[in-house]
Amino acid sequence: MSGNPSNSPVWLVTGASRGIGAAIAAKAQAEGCRVAIVARGDAVLDTARQLGSGTLGVRADVADDTAARRAIHETVEHFGRLDVVVNNAGVHRGGKVERVTTEDWQAVLDTNLTGALNVIRAAKPHLKAGASIINMGAVVGLRGFPGDVAYAASKAGLVGMTNALAIEMAKQGITVNLVIPGLVLTDMTSGLSDSAMDNMKAKIPVGRLGEDHEVADVVFWVSTSRYMTGATVPVDGGLMCSFGVVSP
């Protein structure tokens, strides 16, 4: 495999059929790594074909513990090792607290929080010293947005999970960090009206939305940082530090 030799590091990225997940997979592959990309739908197989050699597409719903274990097994069986795990899979169900259904609440927690746990538990026996786990958070997990109670709770849970596991796995030489994308140009945001887009940009100090490859660059850097663990790394154009600031 040109550019992805058989002894190169192996990444597993969940929620990787498009958007930030696909960009992370492409970045890792461009850096000479081999990559397993995981998502629920058939699109993940198309994305794997587009990325080319050195990429494995796996259809799996990480909210299902058995499916998560199968995804890890297929990855290790195919590549022979596992070095970096990126928990990017996520679902969003909006609505203020009185309108969020129990089903929506549970669906968000099952994928965003329990799904990450399922993947980490399945991957841990295969990770050696020097391995990296990266959880993908969200600004709302640290800063409040009305009408986002389920998503906020799930992403705040990832903060606690990351901190606890960073300590738990440190002696094994495995780092665990949290990367927090801000408002990023994706299929979802591209459908917004011009006025909605302008309103979002006005909240960001750098004055624009991010791009998925900018997040991917930071994720790759975090994976190589051996003395950083339990860290929260925002890639948000200054969005988090601007909360509470009143414009003149």
3-state helix, strand, coil in the chain (%, to 5): 45, 15, 35
3-state secondary structure of 127: coil
Separation CA 98–CA 163 (nearest Å):
31
Distance of CA 81 to the CA centre of its chain: 20
Backbone φ, ψ for residue 13 (5° rounding): -120, 120
Residues annotated catalytic, as ranges: 151
Q: At what angle do helices 149-169 and 115-123 cross, to 10 degrees?
A: 20
Of 155, 50, 19, the residue nearest 35 (C-alpha): 50
- At 154, list the tokens: 């799930």
